[in-house]
Amino acid sequence: MAHSQADVLAGLAEIVNDETGIATDAVQMDKHFTNDLDIDSISMMTIVVNCEDRFGVKIPDEEVKNLNTVADAVNFIVSAS
């Protein structure tokens, strides 16, 4: 089932909020996970696993290092779904 960018962004924001406590409205397309949102690699892996479960996609480990911004993650999930 295809997901829209808006749906994925909203879902990702909820996942980030659950994992880190970062407000959902702070999770914007132009934000960098490490530099802007201060998300460490351990939290990022949890976020990736939760995204896989929520959106029914597989995010290979080698792809995770390419997901630097919220937009990278949203676009990957949209294209993989």
Split into its structural domains, the chain has a count of: 1
Site of tokens 């201060």: 38
Please tell me the predicted confidence (pLDDT) of residue 79: 96
Distance of CA 53 to the CA centre of its chain: 12
Residues of the chain with pLDDT under 70: 1
Q: What is the pTM of this model?
A: 0.95
According to DSSP, the residues that pair with 32 across neighbouring strands are: 69
In Å, how far are 22, 59, 64 from 54, measured between CA atoms?
Answer: 19, 12, 16
Asked if 31 and 25 count as a contact pair (C-beta separation under 8 A), the reply is no
CATH number at residue 30: 1.10.1200.10
- Distance, in Å, from the CA atom of 27 to the CA atom of 51, rounded to the nearest integer, reads 14
